[in-house]
Structure 1
Amino acid sequence: MAFCTLLARLRTAAVCSAALVFAAGAGAQSPSASAAAPKVLRYAFLIAETGFDPAQVSDQYSTAVISHIFEPLYEYDYLARPVKVRPLTAAALPEVSADFKTFTIRIKPGIYFADDPVFKGQRRELVAADYVYSLKRFADPAFKAPFWVQVQNLGLLGLDAQRERALKTGQPFDYDTPIEGLRALDRYTLQLKVAAPRPRLIYTLAMAAYTGAVAREVVQAHGPQQIMAHPVGTGPFVLAQWRRSSRIVLQRNPGYRERYYEAEPAADDAEGQALLARFKGRRLPMLDRVEISIIEESQPRWLSFVNGEMDLVDRVPPEFVNVALPHGRVAPNLAARGIRLHRMLGADTAFTFFNVQHPMLGGMSPERVALRRALSLALDVGAEVRQVRRGQAVVAQSFVLPNTHDFDPSFKSENGEYDPARARALLDLYGYKDRDGDGWRDMPDGSPLVIEVASQPTALDRQYNELWQRNFAAVGVRTHFTSGKWPEQLKQARNGQLMLWFLGESANTPDSIYMLQYLYGPSIGAQNYSRFQLDAYDRLYERLQELPDGPERRALFREAERIQVAYMPLKSHVFRYLNDMSQPWLIGYRRPAFGSVFWHYVDVQR
């Protein structure tokens, strides 16, 4: 059986004893790696993964794993601030036509996929056709790719038509007929042609979640379902163990090419210069293994770090900020142990989407828009920051994120206001009154008004729920909370089955358009959980894709922000401070500005 063969190849007693483990193509360790105790990075995700196929996932926890198994053409320099894109599997930056419509990319020869039984003992080289296939997969209806709209927005000539043929005929997607927009000119040369200018296309080519190369024969061998548990890429790590929603283990890819620590921190970046001096020339990855636990509750996640069971806490839980960081500094007892703080205001937000197709909350009529705006005004986000987040966030004025190119820190809007009196006035004006005398407002037609809030069964979520309940009760609105697992609620959100949901997002690109996809009409069923559709907004979004950076583009971002506030399909609550803490033996950690790609750049010296 393939399962047993893979377990044997892993040569790991822990794997052999785990009956519920999924294993994937990790070879035996090299003699040099096995001679010393393995270097292991241990930390926790607070939300469960969904799987490890780039074409089928979109959550940041799954993509964090994916980004260390699959490799895109480009990457962000680990130390450069502001961020800088540099070649990864590409030999150089793209050759770009003057109109930003043709991109020609040469791939480095001699890069190989991790060993896998599908390759029948032969080394499988990465070639340009692999990137053609990998991008085409997003258009294949069989994979229901949540990021399809993002790939579609690139405007690759002919790709949309291939997808439409598969949808109309019901036949398998055509991978073999060449299209003008996505071609392998030769074994190592990839050419992309797009319908309209794409000045920032390189940012997409630096995202493993979109453009990490997969091998066609591996996907075909396992099919859409099993490939989620069988990732095979060219990256520094391979999946060794997977217990769903419990434990993920990656091991060093024993066949990974010779790659060495290089970076270009700014001359005045003392931390970056120190890291470069320490690690320059070290072969990557420096770790042998990464062990990830899924710990949804804040207390056990924090205690596992304090007790030395975890090497890194990715975002100190809000409940423990005052203990860990009194007055914004590492607590003396932790500092005495050499524990370090890594803090930044991230391109990161927490937001609520309102389902504008929901029969109670949805619609574009004045009374439904007024209801959403009243709910937004009723939410005391300042109290959320003070009481629940312990000051580790700032109130957001829009959905354009800090640290992205077109963020305007001076922009102010109703999105950032707390005004229960105005909320009550809006509800009164548009007929949301207590018609049966029970103390709660009803719909204008007299039916009950009950706001159903999706939530998770954690202590932290209960704090948010209590605040929401008080806020809405203060304006006479009744709430009902439905508890569920995050991956399941994500599916419900995409299917339009939730009235509203409170969740977070981090940008993986410096382009400010990242969050705007959440209101883009064609993204309904994927990132557009609000199911918002407005022609004027969609045209604006598409124009933003084409424009070069500059004043005209910035003005359109302000218009997008005004549309968000006017119709309130989505309320941005906060921009979050990201407080990571690391043990003294974790060396080289620096939170990436975008994405979560760092495992191969750190060392563990216990």
Structure 2
Amino acid sequence: IKIKDGMKWSDGQPIVADDVIYPYEVIGNKDYTGVRYSDESAKIVGMEEYKAGKASTISGIKKVDDKTVEISFKEMGQGIFTGGNGLLTYAMPKHYLKDVPIKDLEKSEKVRTKLVVAGPYTISSIVPGESIELKANPNYFRGKPKTEKVTVQVVNSQTITAAMKSGKYDLVFDIPTELYKIYKDFDNIETLGRQELYYSYLGFKMGKYDKAKGENIVNPNAKMADLKLRQALAYGLDINQMVKAFYDGLREKATSSVPPVFGKYYPKDLAGFPYDPEKAKKLLDEAGYKDVNGDGYREDKNGKPFEIKIAAMSGGDIAEPLVQFYIQQWKEIGIKGVLATGRLIEFNSFYDKVEADDPEIDVYFAAWGVGTNLSPFETAGRKSMFNYSRFASEENDKLMAEVASPKTLTDPNYKPEAYKKWQEYFINQAVEVPLTYRYQLYPVNKRVKNFDVAYGLQKQGKGIHLVELTAAEPIKSKK
């Protein structure tokens, strides 16, 4: 890895080889409290020994000079070209962070509010949960951004369309798709869109993450351990009806955790779990879940009352009716579903509970952004904390290893085919059932110039640093 001449941090200090090495030393440190260490990290020579505290340095990472770093791998696959295979796609300002103990780094103001960065903007101020003020970074390697100041605000979905109409905001991100019908005719807005590197899914809790061992441990006695039960719950959801009712055509049923935008990697012949309530009932019968007292709900295999506790996120007008749709659908196949906390859960609390393997959660509705490096290890790997289902098996390990095989370096079709084989197995296990793919919309005020949402912009030298405003005030809608 070579650092170009003139590269600087936002505080004016040069970016050097130590800054490229430091992230590896952080995530591999035994005191690291975050979630970025994965199966992929262990592919770097010496990383496992460093992680275990048996070595003071990572033997496979060498500083050649101040602008050059050499990294050696035990094994290598196609992910090496897209920021995978254990490679990290970022540097950290070691001169600024080295005095913060790694165990305290996550909570330090130096990584939360007072950042030194290499990107186009620096943080001026933060109002937690409300807003961030940004200012242009004059040391940004592509040149100082065209727009000097940026204000980022969190806005209630119930008020955002009125604010857009009045021209209050230039760019709107993560707008609920159900609001499109309200703002689509505003004449001060141009709406950009793309299919996201995203899928929503139904997850089943299968065990716990063992921090001491650094791996996921399946509990064969978990409530959701029965494959036929999981498959039945998947067959019992009419996702096409849900998409039509709640998303105005801006989502589509998913059958794989690979979005179609990935082209040859997308397993178009994989059926997933099409809506089939009769098949769901048959699977439940075979698994021993039967209604023995005639109340409309099935008891467990021992004839005792049975219910599944559902975790779902709050936010937006459709969150509550959506989870009630799922509960009603499962009721129709005889399964009682209840909200895990008695209510929907706020976004951050939701993921805190799911990550901590809260015993109150049996199933959960969540989503993944899959990134540009298509890799199963981060969310389905045996050692990954992001593997929230906690599912692991030797067959899963074997099929995932083929996705990262050295053969992918020489055969361009090896990884796509290996990925499809893994998907066929993993999806059938029904531990993480894909539900929808999403088309994300980006409303843009017409005074904004050079904003784009296409993939691959960085390679073309494009980005947020080129965005500029053509008028002193935002344009208001006349409609």
* TM-score tier (shorter): 0.7 to 0.9
Residues 384 and 559 (structure 1), Cα distance of their counterparts in 2 relative to 1, 3 Å cut: same
* The one of 289, 292, 296 aligned to 1:435: 292
Residues 463 and 587 (structure 1), Cα distance of their counterparts in 2 relative to 1, 3 Å cut: farther
Partner of 1:250: 134
Deviations 1:489-517 (A, max 9, x none): 212212222322212222321x432x563
* The one of 279, 283, 293 aligned to 1:426: 283
* The one of 52, 73, 90 aligned to 1:212: 90
C-alpha deviation, 1:373, in angstroms: 0.5
C-alpha distance in 1 between matches for 2:192 and 2:128: 29
Alignment of 1:356-367 (within 5 A): 356-357=206-207
- 1:126 matches 2:5: no
Deviations 1:75-94 (A, max 9, x none): xxxxxxxxxxxxxxxxxxxx
Partner of 1:293: 153
Partner of 2:330: 472
Partner of 1:201: 80
* The one of 190, 194, 202 aligned to 1:340: 190
Tell me the SS of whatever aligns to 1:132.
helix
Partner of 2:38: 149
C-alpha distance in 2 between matches for 1:439 and 1:595: 54
Structure 2 residues not aligned, in runs of 5+:
209-216, 472-479
Partner of 1:492: 353
* The one of 345, 355, 362 aligned to 2:205: 355
- 1:508 matches 2:358: no
Alignment of 1:10-409 (within 5 A): 105-115=1-11, 123-149=12-38, 151-153=40-42, 155-165=43-53, 174=56, 177=57, 179-204=58-83, 210-222=88-100, 223-224=104-105, 225-226=107-108, 227-229=110-112, 230-254=114-138, 256-257=139-140, 259=142, 283-295=143-155, 297-325=156-184, 331=185, 334=186, 336-337=187-188, 339-357=189-207, 368-404=226-262, 406-408=264-266
C-alpha distance in 2 between matches for 1:288 and 1:111: 20
C-alpha deviation, 1:346, in angstroms: 2.4
C-alpha distance in 2 between matches for 1:143 and 1:245: 26
Deviations 1:343-382 (A, max 9, x none): 2222221112111128999769997111110111111111
C-alpha distance in 1 between matches for 2:457 and 2:362: 29
Tell me the SS of whatever aligns to 1:386.
helix
Tell me the SS of whatever aligns to 2:150.
strand
* The one of 300, 306, 313 aligned to 1:449: 306
C-alpha deviation, 1:397, in angstroms: 1.2
C-alpha distance in 2 between matches for 1:341 and 1:443: 50
**Which one has the bigger helix percentage?**
1
- 1:568 matches 2:425: no
Partner of 2:212: none
Residues 512 and 364 (structure 1), Cα distance of their counterparts in 2 relative to 1, 3 Å cut: farther
Decide whether the 8 Å contact of 1:521 with 1:528 is kept in 2: yes
The farther-off stretch of 535-544 and 586-595 is: 586-595
Partner of 1:604: 469
The percentage of aligned residue pairs carrying the same residue is 19
CA RMSD in angstroms, aligned pairs only = 2.9
Tell me the SS of whatever aligns to 1:233.
coil
Deviations 1:259-317 (A, max 9, x none): 3xxxxxxxxxxxxxxxxxxxxxxx4411212222223x432233332332221222442
Decide whether the 8 Å contact of 2:26 with 2:32 is kept in 1: yes
Decide whether the 8 Å contact of 2:39 with 2:377 is kept in 1: no
C-alpha distance in 2 between matches for 1:564 and 1:257: 42
Decide whether the 8 Å contact of 1:342 with 1:579 is kept in 2: yes
C-alpha distance in 1 between matches for 2:85 and 2:41: 17
Partner of 2:476: none
C-alpha distance in 1 between matches for 2:140 and 2:327: 55
Q: Which has the higher contact order (CA 8 A, sep 6+)?
A: 2
C-alpha distance in 2 between matches for 1:388 and 1:439: 27
C-alpha deviation, 1:188, in angstroms: 0.7
- When normalised by structure 1's length, the TM-score is 0.68
Residues 161 and 594 (structure 1), Cα distance of their counterparts in 2 relative to 1, 3 Å cut: farther
Deviations 1:525-581 (A, max 9, x none): x21011010111112212211232533332222221121232100010111112211
Residues 422 and 437 (structure 1), Cα distance of their counterparts in 2 relative to 1, 3 Å cut: same
Residues 366 and 322 (structure 1), Cα distance of their counterparts in 2 relative to 1, 3 Å cut: closer
Tell me the SS of whatever aligns to 1:424.
helix
C-alpha distance in 2 between matches for 1:396 and 1:128: 42
Partner of 1:554: 416
Tell me the SS of whatever aligns to 1:349.
strand
Decide whether the 8 Å contact of 1:494 with 1:527 is kept in 2: yes
- When normalised by structure 2's length, the TM-score is 0.85
**Structure 2 counterpart of 1:245, which letter?**
G
Residues 126 and 293 (structure 1), Cα distance of their counterparts in 2 relative to 1, 3 Å cut: same
Structure 1 residues not aligned, in runs of 5+:
1-104, 116-122, 167-172, 260-282, 326-330
C-alpha distance in 2 between matches for 1:469 and 1:366: 16
C-alpha distance in 1 between matches for 2:224 and 2:237: 20
**Structure 2 counterpart of 1:250, which letter?**
L
C-alpha distance in 2 between matches for 1:558 and 1:512: 12
Deviations 1:582-604 (A, max 9, x none): 11012111114279994323112
Decide whether the 8 Å contact of 2:205 with 2:224 is kept in 1: no
Deviations 1:404-459 (A, max 9, x none): 254336323233x0111111111112111123333211211223221211123332
The farther-off stretch of 428-437 and 589-598 is: 589-598
Residues 409 and 532 (structure 1), Cα distance of their counterparts in 2 relative to 1, 3 Å cut: closer
C-alpha distance in 1 between matches for 2:457 and 2:60: 27
Tell me the SS of whatever aligns to 1:414.
coil
Deviations 1:172-210 (A, max 9, x none): x94xx3x33211101111111111123331321799x94
Decide whether the 8 Å contact of 1:134 with 1:213 is kept in 2: yes
Tell me the SS of whatever aligns to 1:148.
coil
Tell me the SS of whatever aligns to 2:318.
helix
